[in-house]
Amino acid sequence: MEKKRILFITQEIFPFVPKTELSNTSRRLPQVIQESGKEIRVFTPRFGVINERRHQLHEVIRLSGLNICIDDQDHPLLIKVASVAAAKMQVYFIDNDDYFKRKSTLTDENGVFHKDNDERSMFFCRGVLETVKKLGWQPDVIHCHGWLTGIMGLYIKHSFNKDPHFRETKVVYSMYNERFDQPWDSRFAEKLIFDGFPKEIAEQFKATDYINIVKSLISFCDGLNIASEQLDTDLQKVFNEASCLKQEYVPEENQAMQIGGLFDMVIAGNVLA
């Protein structure tokens, strides 16, 4: 039987950035899923705080060079790669000077969220999909970690839904307590329309506060799971109201079996009863 293919996309992964709940899960989970018999790929942004020399990142020339247009501006896509030897896996990095060169991740030195995080999210998700196509690797499931990755379901269901490479791809989103506390750019819906999304879809994102963005993005997902052991009350409500296949928090020692099982169910097309 052919191995199922799981594409992990995450806004941060240890050891390339400091250890947090999200970065630690993003490091551990792909390894245990791979060891359970599935094939995996891992993608993350190449934030400017990542030390390329220490982590031995190098550019993959054959995958780089594409321009991605965001809000009527072209941005060159660079792909870099590094290995996590202990896990026997590679991590691919989406890079671009306009979005990821700054010496920070999602906030500036004062803790203020970057005003272009919406565009960085768009560039990252589209960059991942274009790169996976170049790799000739068709994912059965894309597993998203962190709100920067959340609009992947929107791209799979509307921009890439007729692309044979992604026609059968399912999207699972993990809910963490991490969030942004300043709204995304008020023009986010306009940027989606420029990117080819129907107006009625884009208008779901006219309110750019965190809760509306999360509620809207998970409406395009096939599966949803809770990644934080004690999810915040307002996010738990969003989770409870979601209409896709759902999974409550799974302890670390059971994740290979249970989260792997969630992947199998969404691949099989199971829906919420």
CA distance 240 to 267: 22
Residue 273 inside a domain? The answer is: no
Q: Classify each residue of 129-162 as buried b or exposed e, where b means 16 or more C-beta atoms within 10 Å of its C-beta.
A: bbbbeeeeeebbbbbbbbbbbbbbbbbbbbbbee
> Residue 39: which domain range?
5-268
In tens, the pLDDT along 41-98 reads 999 999 999 999 999 999 999 999 999 999 999 999 999 999 998 889 999 999 999 9
Residue 2: predicted pLDDT: 84
In tens, the pLDDT along 160-188 reads 988 999 999 999 999 999 999 999 999 99
Is 50 exceeded by the pLDDT of residue 192?
yes
Is 70 exceeded by the pLDDT of residue 249?
yes
Looking at the structure of the chain, the number of domains it has is 1
Residue 192 inside a domain? The answer is: yes
**Which CATH number goes with the domain that contains 230?**
3.40.50.2000
Q: Which of 198, 46, 84, 66 is nearest to 133 (CA)?
A: 66
- HSE of 211, CA atoms in CB hemisphere, 13 A: 9
CA distance 205 to 201: 8
Residue 206 inside a domain? The answer is: yes
Residue 273: predicted pLDDT: 38
